[in-house]
Structure 1
């Protein structure tokens, strides 16, 4: 799948510089720290005009690639979420990272990042002691400050087994619990890198922003940490809207919030960010996908959990079909979405050589998930999770249904009636009501929400002991139920309807992380000139598609400039006019770093025959033709994926000595 105009990019002798890229991004106001003139707040950023346009184009591509092509149902749910919703989903208790505090200074560290940075610094010292040359990369100011804290690490050669042990730990750093991180800190004698001060054992820090809803403050709430819960809570409405047909998917694009312990790395770790999430609801007994054959031959670079657990990060390249048939990827629908995620990322500008799919290890996977893969993009900060793709089983719908007694199930007519035998609770209401009075309703609701396994256990206990003892939320004391008040037994029934709770396949996209990774993947400098940066964004997502450049400020050129501008506007192609006094080369150069893929030069010949010159950003190749034909070529290359050679086949090659001077 092509991600550019397919006019060859020249090889460059200038190594990638993150510092140069970030200077361009900030100077051209792709994004900037929020509240900058007040000193800023870490983890909060504002997008400027090109950043806004780039993000909007990526989101528009996402919406067409998934919502339109997959017939998804898009919803837009509130960002304010009541406490009870996130308590039920598990976020109140479990949505946390591990932090540790310096006992003397009170300085706070995120535990996994601290272990990672200290061990990497020691390995770097070992490589230096062994005389192994390392590639030096530019670093942002935050990372430079952190590195200064561990600069005391001397170039000491480590034992081979210690090096292997460190590398093993780093390969599994995402999977350690708080207790395990604490053990690593003790084992490797990791202290405050700046002061050498001892650290407290890691403790959990909940990442949600808490707030009060309403003036009384009585309704406790949070800013949502994800968009998923709104989709789960609206499942019944979505199913009805979809005419009760399964499977189907919902989608949501919106802001989410996480109170990160130590935000760093620009857009890669922030406290407010844009997410795009899909919830694909599927029959738990049939996770095949009707379009799987369309993607089964796509090859992906996988990092399976067993490879990571062995201490290696060597990827395995195989087709999606092979990954599913071998059981490495749990099912067809999950495999289908991994392939579709890959296709989307390539379409918006991700480098295929710096993309891998890493499987969650057993100790980092949610207890309810049957499989989970992260699309990770390699940047100068390392491998960054940008998309999570998980099979969440029926967990979310089940817990919300149990908490609210809402019907979040699918009911489908069976082709033939079936006889089923299930445990049921039979209450003697004449005795039960007078006995338990106001607590009776809560007890009955509790019994009605028990699983078949639980009811089987209670049935045996009731038969053996003549009673069961239960604890019901809202009922003050332990409730004792004897066979006088209820019976629990298997009952045979003929059913004409199958009722089930769907499983959910969830691809979840961090848009800001994807944007920044694309910046790194597509930024380069012209050969021999480190100051001439180029941002090779695919035309489809580039903020501006065309730079319109009059050869001079002559009044004679204005009518044709106006005419071409009106035509571009009518064709709905985003463009900018640069009629400044700078040379054409400089005007093109400053728009190359904005990612503008095409330039139209208007000269004095344009007055005679309305012909113009079309320049391609990466190769600086030029062709000439009527402005209508040039605009048609731009539209075809930008919006249909046509190559430069195909799109400009009707235009005449043009040589110029000055446009890029």
Structure 2
């Protein structure tokens, strides 16, 4: 641990950075660097030195490269597909060898991620949550209050041979369907030994000890220690008094943020699923604790069945059983109507993405895994082709912990009043999405791998989530066809994402369109000029219909929203 010390020499003050170092049975303090005569400058230099120490060494970079190479042939083909077709590139910067945990979304990947984020916006806004945008860098006092500065760390384990470092619980979860985050240090070490889990980099054994590493990314702003936010939630709580007034002091109140967060993730693996820079989409419901079981919207959803997998069933490896939200509340699996509604809302979002119910489960946090302040904690997990069951969303009852902590550290009362004049600290119900994981999940699930004899590998994503909605192809590069095609493009592009392509044969253009998941391809031919009709080709069935140009926009909207069947939309040709 490094710290600043002041020394007086000949009546003058000088500042040094010292570090505690263990030598045998004793701990000694040694000077690491001279920091100058001014305390503010000394603090700034100290932070810079600490940050420099956190930079990955050459062995760490080699470890990251080794991990990226340690994937099976099917996953390599998958990664090749998403790179070649403009979904995701990296780790970035590729031309400098790449740093694990940082990625670029290519043109198609970014369009898909936009669809994911807009879907989240739509469901939050439809349920009266309103969007905020807060800062990504805040002073350390905020993170001290939230607990991140002192406790936000992960357990790490080191290879005894190559010294590669891994997150201890994830090295278990990657090969076994268990929630190792709930394990004690001793249980993690025993599990790794019993299951003979080896270092992914060199296939040797791990050291039999667990250490901890902070996940905070530190910086200095105007000479003051600060950090990049590791989540959007904390930043959402800080303007509580502002939105309390904005919502006219009426409960419940809902707000959400979609934006970047940063964590010094240990040995990032599994592509964008565990990045050091990622996008979160977290909704926060502020509720009166006395009204949690008087939730107005509960009656609408109480009989809906969801795939609850409680921690006791996990312990005995029992199968997931779908039960109603009402029954889950009666059995004590969840503790309030309001929380049950939040779980339903989060689950509905993944159904809206087009992910099948068979691939989704709700996993309850084990008591040893749950945060000490949480009254309820469940994760939504999705079964991926590459990585099995993967957490994609967390739903937490955070009680009044956050507002009380920030009241304590800021000396501002973050509380509300009931109509009878009594005061209370609102409870927070959190729905914590990321958008990188759902985006990856959609690519993983709907990537339709074909053998060479079967045809071309394509991306069969649900039509409403496709990165590009429509392709427009003039049959030939005739001036009159090009002009008609551009007129149709201009008419549609305010309502749809359009791909306009005139290069190559019509067959090759159809194939390129299907490969990136575009649901419909419109062909403009000479009948378009003579009869004001166009053909629409369906991606999955390859069937074609002919319709009037004037009906095109309305027909496409109904098709994408699944309001009509393709065969009903026009004349099959």
TM range (shorter): 0.7 to 0.9
Residue of structure 2 equivalent to 1:572? 495
Partner of residue 562 from structure 1, selected from 468, 486, 492: 486
1:24–1:593 Cα contact (<8 Å) kept: no
- The residue that corresponds to 2:349 in the other structure is 344
1:407 is the counterpart of 2:329: no
Against the structure 1 CA distance between its residues 222 and 530, is the aligned structure 2 distance closer, same or farther, given a 3 Å change threshold?
farther
1:69 correspondence with 2:74: no
- Work out which of the two has the higher radius of gyration on C-alpha atoms and give 1 or 2: 1
| Residue 364 of structure 1: aligned partner | 369
Give the counterpart of 1:500 among 421, 424, 428: 424
Q: Partner of 1:51 in structure 2?
A: 109
CA contact under 8 A between 2:168 and 2:210: conserved in structure 1? yes
Tell me the equivalent position of 1:651: 570
Answer with 196-205 or 381-390: which moved more.
Answer: 196-205
C-alpha contact 2:253 2:286 (8 A) present in aligned 1: yes
CA distances 1:594-633 after superposition (whole Å, capped 9, x unpaired): 1111110112211211101111111222211112212211
Identify if the C-alpha distance between structure 1 residues 114 and 72 changes in structure 2 by more than 3 Å, giving closer, same or farther: closer
Corresponding position of 1:91: 148
Alignment of 1:301 onto 2:307:
yes
* Preserved contact between residue 171 and residue 313 of structure 1 (Cα < 8 Å): no
1:535 to 459, 483, 502: 459
2:550 aligned to 600, 620, 628, which one?
A: 628
Matches within 5 A, 1:306-455: 306-310=312-316, 312=317, 314-379=319-384, 380-414=386-420
Question: Equivalents in 2 of 1:579, 1:195: separation in Å?
Answer: 51
- For the structure 1 residues 296 and 527, does the alpha-carbon distance in structure 2 shift closer, same or farther, using more than 3 Å as the test? farther
C-alpha change, 1:89 and 1:413, in structure 2 (3 Å) is same
Residue in structure 2 matched with residue 292 of structure 1 by the alignment: 298
C-alpha spacing 1:373/1:115, structure 2 compared with 1 (3 Å) = closer
Deviations 1:411-431 (A, max 9, x none): 1231xxxxxxxxxxxxxxxxx
In structure 2, C-alpha distance between the alignment counterparts of 1:192 and 1:265, rounded to whole Å: 15
Are 1:192 and 1:199, in contact at CA under 8 Å, matched by a contact in 2? no
> How many residues are aligned here?
497
Question: Which has the bigger relative contact order, CA under 8 A and spacing at least 6?
Answer: 1
Q: Give the TM-score normalised by the residue count of structure 1.
A: 0.72
Question: Match of 1:199?
Answer: 207
Distance 1:87 1:500 in 2: 24
1:206-240 deviation per Cα after TM superposition (whole angstroms, max 9, x unaligned): 111111112xx3x1111100001111111111111
Aligned to 1:413, what secondary structure does the other structure show?
Answer: coil
For the Cα contact (< 8 Å) 2:157–2:206, is it kept in 1? no
Distance 1:61 1:208, change over 3 A: same
Partners of 2:550 and 2:483 in 1: CA distance: 16
The Cα RMSD (Å) is 2.2
Output aligned runs, 1:19-168, within 5 Å. Answer: 19-33=76-90, 34-66=92-124, 68-102=125-159, 105-116=162-173, 120=175
Aligned partner of residue 393 in structure 1, secondary structure: coil
CA 1:329 to 1:530, structure 2 compared with 1: closer, same or farther past 3 Å?
Answer: farther
**2:470 equivalent to 1:546:** yes
Q: Structure 1's 398 and 18: CA in aligned 2 closer, same or farther, altered over 3 A?
A: same
Q: TM-score scaled by structure 2? A: 0.82
1:610 aligns to 2:542 (yes or no): no
What secondary structure, in the 3-state scheme, does the structure 1 residue paired with 2:299 have?
Answer: helix
Cα distance in 2 between the residues matched to 1:287 and 1:513 = 30
Deviation at 1:171, TM superposition (A): 2.6
Query: In the alignment, which of 176, 183, 191 is matched to residue 176 of structure 1?
Result: 183
How far apart, CA to CA, are the structure 2 residues paired with 1:626 and 1:172?
A: 56
Q: Deviations over 1:3-49 (max 9, x none)?
A: xxxxxxxxxxxxx9544432221101111002111111111000111
Question: Residue 413 and residue 613 in structure 1: after superposition, are their counterparts in 2 closer, same or farther (change >3 A)?
Answer: same
CA 1:65 to 1:520, structure 2 compared with 1: closer, same or farther past 3 Å? same
Q: Check the 8 A contact 1:375/1:385 in 2, yes or no.
A: yes
Find the partner of 2:282 among 241, 253, 277: 277
Shift in Å at residue 296 of structure 1? 2.3
| Pair 1:111–1:69, CA change in 2 (3 A) | same
Name the residue aligned to 1:156: none
Cα 1:562–1:284 change in 2 (3 A) is: same
For structure 1, the 5+ residue unaligned runs are 1-15, 121-166, 415-496, 655-661
- Asked whether the 8 Å contact 1:178–1:203 carries over to 2, the reply is no
| Structure 2 unmatched ranges of 5 or more | 1-72
Query: Match of 2:418, SS?
Result: strand
The alpha-carbon deviation at position 100 of structure 1 amounts to 1.9
Residue 299 of structure 1 contacts residue 318 of structure 1 at CA under 8 Å; is this kept in 2? yes
Inter-partner Cα distance in structure 2 for 1:535 and 1:337 = 31
Call closer, same or farther: CA 1:557–1:521 in 2, change over 3 Å. same
Q: Find the aligned partners of 2:259 and 2:424 in 1 and give their Cα distance.
A: 30
Partner of 2:513: 591
Q: Deviations over 1:509-531 (max 9, x none)?
A: 01101111111222214698555
CA distance in 1, matches of 2:356, 2:259: 26
Select 1:514's aligned residue among 426, 429, 438. Answer: 438
* More off after superposition, 189-198 vs 514-523: 189-198
1:446-502 C-alpha deviation (Å, 9 max, x unpaired): xxxxxxxxxxxxxxxxxxxxxxxxxxxxxxxxxxxxxxxxxxxxxxxxxxx211111
CA–CA distance in structure 1, aligned partners of residues 336 and 140 of structure 2: 34
The CA distance in 1 between the partners of 2:478 and 2:196, in whole Å, is 72
User: Whole-Å Cα distance in 2 between the matches of residues 191 and 71 of structure 1?
Assistant: 49
1:525/1:531 contact within 8 Å kept: no
Tell me whether 286-295 or 103-112 shows the greater mean CA deviation.
Answer: 103-112
Query: Residues of 2 paired with 1:42 and 1:189: CA distance?
Result: 26
Q: How many Å apart are 1:643 and its aligned residue?
A: 3.6
Q: CA deviation at 1:543?
A: 1.7
CA contact (8 A) 1:208 1:259 kept: yes
